[in-house]
Structure 1
Amino acid sequence: MVTLETIRKDMEAQLALDNSIQSVIVNADTLEEALQDAAVQLDSKVSTLEYEIIEKGSDGFLGLAKKPWKLRIYPTAEAMAKRKKVKDDASFDAENFYEEVKTVDQDGMFYIRHFGDNICLKVTLPVGKGRPVEAKQIISEAKRTDTLSIDEDLIRKLAKNGSKDQYEVVGQYKHVPAGDALLVIDVSKDEMLATVTVTPPSLSGAEISAEQIIRNLEIQGVVAGIEEDKINEFVDNPAYNVPCEVAAAVKPQDGRDAYMVFHFETDPTKLKIKESKNGLVNFKELNQIQNVVKGQPLAQKMPPERGKAGKTLKGRYLEAKNGKDIRLPLGKNVELDKDGVTILASMNGRVLFESERINVEPVLELDAVNIKTGNIDFLGTVVVKGNVEDGYDVKASGNIEVNGTVGQSHLKTESGDIIVSQGIFGHDVGVIQAGGSLWAKFIQSAKVEVEKFVIVSDSIMNSEVTAMKRVILNGKKAQITGGHLFATEEICAKNIGSPGGGAETILEVGFDPRLKQRLADIQDEQNSLMRELEETENNIITLENFKKQRRTLPKEKQDHLDNLKKRKEEIIVNSEKYATEVEQILQRLHELKVFGKVKAFGTVYAGVKIYVRDVVDEVRSDVKSCTFFFENGFVRRGKYEEPDMTDVKAPEGYSS
């Protein structure tokens, strides 16, 4: 089993191995072969290696007296830093592991160079647990046959404190100018690159300094792009007879083109099915609709950037291109914000990116609602050309129009109407809720709640229907059979009930259905509280009698008694609140100006129960063309009256 401790040990071992490989000494016939060999050993690229020549190789004469190259090779500082970053990124995540980031150990380094008549020294300090340089070693290497004098105290000081990346004069040597290293500066014809080629100095000859290279570049007319870091690298680790880059032109940078940042998914194929917190997928929630609200940011244009001009080594101007601007993809029902770059939705709806334009569609048209579409939740109007199949729901902020039928589904609008051209087969499961009105051919075995009217052309069968205004059936059949219907103002149909009884049919008018339902709920709660209060009081009496006999109670029983008394007080307070609310509801129902009417221009069959206000009229024999209304505390029957349709406006395109 792999544990955290095992991983830690393996990584520590690998880190120790990596740290141990600071440099390698390679013998090879050529410089190139040596670098390639070292690249394999150091697991690096040749371009990221630096080297020191320990013994210079020679091709000999006709293959005789051939001498191999001996080099000390190590990665560049940039390569080491990059390797460290890669290791850190692949290391433990900070949220799950608390392992400290270990510093890469690196030994101190020193460089002895002969510039002019001086012996110069550069010392870099060690990193982490790296070993410092030893003054003895520096002094030993500084003493050559041509050395005249050295400042050993200064050398010890520099070995301890470093030279701050500078060469310090630590002595003099017998300088023979004829043996000096020679340099050649080569500037490319396009003035984009300059290289230096240096011949090695002979014994007592001076080496090339950074100042010499820079001075010769300036003599060649180079005024821009001088790379001092590469010049210093060359001085520290010279590669003789090989062209080395020391200056590069500043290349022009073309400006970035303008582009759009979209705050919605422009590719509908990338929309994913919603997952629950436990990872389960509901295939009815296909998440294919991207709803937006008025004023919501949809996209933002990132302006084009100006190009940055370049310069050749000799200062010649290199022109750069400015980024190209783009047109804003403004489509239907969107607007531009005050900043001139942000696109906003100008209404609620569905955002789409079509034909390189951002559009907000307030109407969603579907062939059907089924397994292909999943459930629909839309901020606008939904038009379904076919059916809403069993088990699929539709929610909308506007209207819902269904040209076919609705099955065991839940349709809900916030403020709009619901229009079902064919009919509703609820199968005792379907629910229709409208912030406006419901228009349908028929309603069968469904639960309906609307804020205004229920207008049906055919029939309502075995359904629970609640309308805050009127329920009107005005077709040729116009039949109410079975079920329970509520309406504040009136219920009107041709025939109500069925011959010979059958399913119970109850109609109620003249009150606020919600208030009455709330009243019924409160009364149920009150009955439950009274039963609990009676049981609580009996338990309190029992425990108090027990306490009188024993003079005291065990701690558990005493705590139980205290809790019972506390609960009794809560029940009394809640009961009083309910009683106050009941009085308020009864007062509002009593003050309701609309008494309510039930109208039938055909037949009201025996067995139908009609409630006007709280008074019931149980129809014991068939009644023809009649209006039921409230008068003097009783339900009266009068001649049939036409329903009030003055404020009933049919939805656009609905002809029933």
Structure 2
Amino acid sequence: MDSRPFSVYVREDGVYLEVKPDIEVGKIEIIGYLKRQGIDVEEGLIEEIIDQRRGEIVKVSDQVPPSAREALIEVEISEDGLTASIHIIPPLDERNWPSPQDLEAELKKRGVVFGIKEGVLERICSEKLGHQWIVVAEGIKPVNGEDAVIALKVDVERLKPKIEDPNVARVDLRELGAVINVLKGQVLAEKTPPKEGRDGINVLGKPIKARQARDKSLPKGSNTEISEDGLKLIATIDGNLVPKDGKLHVMPVYEVDGDVDYGVGNINFIGSVVIKGSIRDGFSVVAGSDIQVGGVVEAATLRAGGKVMIRGGIRGMGKASIEAESDIMALFIDQAYVKSNSNVIVERSIMHSTVMATEKITVMGGRKGIIVGGSSSAGFEISCVTLGNEIGTRTEIQVGVVPSLQQELKSILEKLEDFREKLNSIENNLNYIRKLEAQGKIDQPKKALMLQLSKMKLQLQYNLEFYEAQRQKLEQEVAKINEACRVKVKGVCYPGVIINMRGVIYMVKEKMEYVTFYYDKGEIKFSPYF
């Protein structure tokens, strides 16, 4: 439709004007347009039509200039240059309608040379479409490039308190999530490549430049590598993910410069942890490998897949718990639970604690090297300078028991008992079916059952033989440990000490010096320290 706010009609007796209702228009716009067509009008009449006679077709001139008898072709190009439109004011004599070639020539006068729609030009002329703007040429829009995108595959926004109880929205300030564990081969970041842009062209035949895409580099840091296709950043070791200076680094050791407290939170790390300060009351440190503590461990929890080294000792207040798959070493242990799958090595003292070691407990570094109060147990040997104290504090010592071996042996014995019960049941059923067979009363289902039971019997017999061999092997290992177990006191052993070896208990009733306790033929004996 015609987008002008007015229409002009040329007839035999003159020129007529129609101003459309409710559309903003000024007399200068109308007068200027008419003058360009060679038509003079009175300003007052135009003002009257705008103000009072909108929607009426009003004669504004008796003179019809020759130019008005021909079609008037107007060309409009959009601001972005992507479209060109034609508007035709029809001629007085419809036989003078322009041809498609006339329209194309008018377009070229205005510089329109690209994207001309010949079919549309033909339709305008054949259907005599006047008084409306029609798009007759279209350019090609540019397609802007899309920048490369780097997507992190690991949550690096971890330094936030976690909700402890969603029902009351309580926040556990110990859980800061400061450690980001990643595994060797894990994808840390992934890149979506940039998409190149495509230039466009306007109806004037001029190129329209597209915005070109920008590439981005994967944030490769220490102990990471980029995949062969260049689209993935991969960890080359197990460790802690550390974003720094726009890069992602994987560090094999997690270090804390000061204390583990509310500023650091609990630590759970796949590798080794080094803490230069202390571990405060109520916090936990879990490491897949070693834990080193420069200060004191208070009523905290430590779990290590390797060894634990505590330079400042353990002041547990009855709540500390330290476990390690390898050695545990400390300056002292006071009111704590300590368990090692290897050795416990203490320099000064073990006081009022529960200490367990698969192999040895040693307190030989200090001048006193004392074990007093609580319970200490080891698979092979416990050695110290002083055992117990002068006031006779109850101190329990147990050697010759390896908890892991005892647990494994117990499990094997339970399996053997279960296999024997099942084998006995199968034997009873087979005997019954064989009797039926001897009497000629066995049918096909019972024959199938007999075959199945026979197969089960063979499997159970194999299991019994296998686990019986395992039992014997473990019992031999336990016996060797029992033979080698010792309690060695380089200084003084006081009354109040209770020594347990292979279930045999010896209560120390008088002060003993420079002594070694050992098991021999159902008794606990002692000899000079060796």
TM-score by length of 2: 0.69
Residues 300-352 of structure 1: CA distance to partner in whole angstroms, max 9, x if unpaired?
22223322122232444445464343443221111222322211111122212
Aligned with residue 412 of structure 1, among 283, 286, 303: 303
Matched, 1:469 2:356: no
Q: Residue 274 of structure 1 contacts residue 286 of structure 1 at CA under 8 Å; is this kept in 2?
A: no
Q: Residue 59 of structure 1 contacts residue 67 of structure 1 at CA under 8 Å; is this kept in 2?
A: no
Q: Residue 299 of structure 1 contacts residue 343 of structure 1 at CA under 8 Å; is this kept in 2?
A: yes
2:231 maps to 341
Aligned with residue 452 of structure 1, among 342, 359, 365: 342
1:620 maps to 509
User: 1:229 & 1:471 partners in 2: Cα distance?
Assistant: 99
Aligned with residue 61 of structure 1, among 20, 25, 45: 45
Q: How much has 1:298 moved relative to structure 2?
A: 0.4
Q: How much has 1:363 moved relative to structure 2?
A: 1.6
Which stretch shows the higher mean deviation, 191-200 or 58-67?
58-67
SS of corresponding position for 1:446: strand
Matched, 1:377 2:268: yes
1:480 maps to 371
Q: How many residues align?
A: 430
Q: Residue 606 of structure 1 contacts residue 619 of structure 1 at CA under 8 Å; is this kept in 2?
A: yes
Q: Residue 511 of structure 1 contacts residue 589 of structure 1 at CA under 8 Å; is this kept in 2?
A: no
User: 1:620 & 1:521 partners in 2: Cα distance?
Assistant: 38
Residues 178-218 of structure 1: CA distance to partner in whole angstroms, max 9, x if unpaired?
87864322458996542323336779799999999789658
1:611 maps to amino acid: N
> 1:212 and 1:588, CA in 2 relative to 1: closer, same or farther beyond 3 A?
farther
> 1:283 and 1:266, CA in 2 relative to 1: closer, same or farther beyond 3 A?
closer
Aligned with residue 171 of structure 2, among 262, 281, 285: 281
Matched, 1:606 2:524: no
Q: Percent of aligned pairs with the same residue? A: 31
User: 1:624 & 1:408 partners in 2: Cα distance?
Assistant: 34
Q: How much has 1:251 moved relative to structure 2?
A: 3.8
2:310 maps to amino acid: V
Q: Residue 437 of structure 1 contacts residue 454 of structure 1 at CA under 8 Å; is this kept in 2?
A: yes
Residues 271-322 of structure 1: CA distance to partner in whole angstroms, max 9, x if unpaired?
4535555454322211222221111100122223322122232444445464
User: 1:393 & 1:633 partners in 2: Cα distance?
Assistant: 43
Q: How does 1:381-396 map to 2 (within 5 A)?
A: 381-396=272-287
SS of corresponding position for 1:329: coil
User: 1:293 & 1:239 partners in 2: Cα distance?
Assistant: 73
> 1:311 and 1:32, CA in 2 relative to 1: closer, same or farther beyond 3 A?
farther
Q: How much has 1:602 moved relative to structure 2?
A: 0.7
Q: Residue 273 of structure 1 contacts residue 285 of structure 1 at CA under 8 Å; is this kept in 2?
A: yes
> 1:418 and 1:268, CA in 2 relative to 1: closer, same or farther beyond 3 A?
same
Aligned with residue 383 of structure 2, among 463, 471, 492: 492
Q: Residue 392 of structure 2 contacts residue 494 of structure 2 at CA under 8 Å; is this kept in 1?
A: yes
Residues 565-614 of structure 1: CA distance to partner in whole angstroms, max 9, x if unpaired?
xxxxxxxxxxxxxxxx9999898456421221111101111121111222
> 1:32 and 1:400, CA in 2 relative to 1: closer, same or farther beyond 3 A?
farther
Q: With a CA cutoff of 8 Å and minimum separation of 6, indicate the structure with the bigger relative contact order.
A: 2
> 1:208 and 1:590, CA in 2 relative to 1: closer, same or farther beyond 3 A?
farther
User: 1:229 & 1:399 partners in 2: Cα distance?
Assistant: 81
SS of corresponding position for 1:427: strand
User: 1:187 & 1:62 partners in 2: Cα distance?
Assistant: 29
Q: How much has 1:34 moved relative to structure 2?
A: 3.9
Q: Residue 512 of structure 1 contacts residue 589 of structure 1 at CA under 8 Å; is this kept in 2?
A: no
User: 2:119 & 2:141 partners in 1: Cα distance?
Assistant: 18
1:67 maps to amino acid: R
User: 1:466 & 1:239 partners in 2: Cα distance?
Assistant: 102
2:259 maps to 368
Q: Residue 21 of structure 2 contacts residue 54 of structure 2 at CA under 8 Å; is this kept in 1?
A: no
Q: Residue 519 of structure 1 contacts residue 582 of structure 1 at CA under 8 Å; is this kept in 2?
A: no
User: 1:635 & 1:373 partners in 2: Cα distance?
Assistant: 50
User: 1:625 & 1:239 partners in 2: Cα distance?
Assistant: 123
SS of corresponding position for 2:45: coil
Q: How does 1:252-331 map to 2 (within 5 A)?
A: 252-266=142-156, 271=160, 273-274=162-163, 276=165, 278=167, 279-320=169-210, 322-331=212-221
Residues 196-241 of structure 1: CA distance to partner in whole angstroms, max 9, x if unpaired?
2333677979999999978965897756456899999x999x9948
User: 2:526 & 2:75 partners in 1: Cα distance?
Assistant: 118
User: 1:231 & 1:624 partners in 2: Cα distance?
Assistant: 120
User: 2:164 & 2:288 partners in 1: Cα distance?
Assistant: 24
SS of corresponding position for 1:616: strand
1:607 maps to amino acid: G
> 1:322 and 1:63, CA in 2 relative to 1: closer, same or farther beyond 3 A?
closer
Q: Residue 423 of structure 1 contacts residue 441 of structure 1 at CA under 8 Å; is this kept in 2?
A: yes
Q: How does 1:240-259 map to 2 (within 5 A)?
A: 240=131, 246-259=136-149
Gaps of 5+ in 1: 1-25, 37-57, 71-177, 524-580, 642-656
Aligned with residue 194 of structure 1, among 84, 87, 103: 84
Q: Residue 161 of structure 2 contacts residue 173 of structure 2 at CA under 8 Å; is this kept in 1?
A: no
User: 2:21 & 2:179 partners in 1: Cα distance?
Assistant: 63
Q: Residue 299 of structure 2 contacts residue 320 of structure 2 at CA under 8 Å; is this kept in 1?
A: yes
2:486 maps to 597
1:371 maps to amino acid: Y
Matched, 1:400 2:291: yes
SS of corresponding position for 1:64: helix
Residues 435-472 of structure 1: CA distance to partner in whole angstroms, max 9, x if unpaired?
21111111111111111111100111111111111111
2:9 maps to none
Matched, 1:185 2:185: no
> 1:229 and 1:436, CA in 2 relative to 1: closer, same or farther beyond 3 A?
farther
2:398 maps to 508
SS of corresponding position for 2:398: strand
Q: Residue 179 of structure 1 contacts residue 204 of structure 1 at CA under 8 Å; is this kept in 2?
A: no
> 1:521 and 1:67, CA in 2 relative to 1: closer, same or farther beyond 3 A?
same
RMSD: 4.5
